[in-house]
Amino acid sequence: MVNDKERKQITAFIVDVATAGLEITYRCRFMGLRALYNAVVKFTDVRVPRENIISKEGAGLKVALTTLNTGRLTLPAACVGVSKRLLEISRKWAGERIQWGVPIGKHGAIAGKIAEMAGNVFAMEAMTFLTSSLLDRKSGDLRIETAMCKMWATEMTWRIADEAMQVRGGRGYETAHSLAGRGEPPISVERFLRDCRVNMIFEGSSEIMRLFIAREALDPHLKVGGAIFNTQLPMSERVKAVFSSGKFYADWYPRQWLPGSAGKIDNLHPNLARHVNYAARTSKRLARGLFHAMARFGPKLDREQLLLSRFVGIATELFAISATCSFAQRKIDNSDPPQADREEGGAARDEVLSLAEYFCRSARLRTEHHFAGTNDNVDRRGYELTQELLAGKHESLRRGMV
Ligand X SMILES: Cc1cc2nc3c(=O)[nH]c(=O)nc-3n(C[C@H](O)[C@H](O)[C@H](O)COP(=O)(O)OP(=O)(O)OC[C@H]3O[C@@H](n4cnc5c(N)ncnc54)[C@H](O)[C@@H]3O)c2cc1C
Catalytic positions are 203
Q: Which is nearer to ligand X, 55 or 139 (CB)?
A: 55
Residue 30 C-beta: closest distance to ligand X, Å: 5
Q: Which residues of 259-285 are buried (b: 16+ CB within 10 A; e: fewer)?
A: ebebeebeebbeebbebbbbbbebbeb
Q: Which is nearer to ligand X, 79 or 355 (CB)?
A: 79
Residue 312 C-beta: closest distance to ligand X, Å: 13
Q: Which residues pair with 13 in a beta bridge?
A: 53
- Please provide the DSSP assignment of 201-239 as one string: TSSS-HHHHHHHHHHHHTHHHHHHHGGGG-TTS-HHHHH
Q: Read off the amino acid at residue 393.
A: K
- Please provide the DSSP assignment of 333-381 as one string: HHTSSTTS-GGGT---HHHHHHHHHHHHHHHHHHHHHHHHHHHS--HHH
Answer for the pair 323, 130: CB distance below 8 angstroms, yes or no.
yes
Q: Which is nearer to ligand X, 151 or 167 (CB)?
A: 151
Answer for the pair 356, 325: CB distance below 8 angstroms, yes or no.
yes
Residue 33 C-beta: closest distance to ligand X, Å: 6
Residue 32 C-beta: closest distance to ligand X, Å: 8
Q: Nearest CA to 71 among 198, 220, 164?
A: 198
Residue 206 C-beta: closest distance to ligand X, Å: 7
Q: Which is nearer to ligand X, 168 or 197 (CB)?
A: 197
Judged by the rule CB under 6 A, the positions of this chain that interact with ligand X are 30, 33, 36, 38, 198, 201-202, 205, 207-208, 305
Residue 125 C-beta: closest distance to ligand X, Å: 25
Q: Nearest CA to 83 among 132, 116, 130?
A: 116
Shortest-Cβ-distance residue relative to ligand X: 205
Element holding 102 (H helix, E strand): strand 102-103
Residue 375 C-beta: closest distance to ligand X, Å: 23
Q: Which is nearer to ligand X, 141 or 207 (CB)?
A: 207
Q: Which is nearer to ligand X, 187 or 312 (CB)?
A: 312
Q: Which is nearer to ligand X, 33 or 340 (CB)?
A: 33
Q: How far is it, in rounded angstroms, from Cα 146 to Cα 216? A: 12
Q: Which residues of 166-204 are buried (b: 16+ CB within 10 A; e: fewer)?
A: ebbeebbebebeebeeeeeeebbbbbbbbbbbbbbeebb
Q: How far is it, in rounded angstroms, from Cα 368 to Cα 18? A: 55
Q: How far is it, in rounded angstroms, from Cα 110 to Cα 100? A: 13
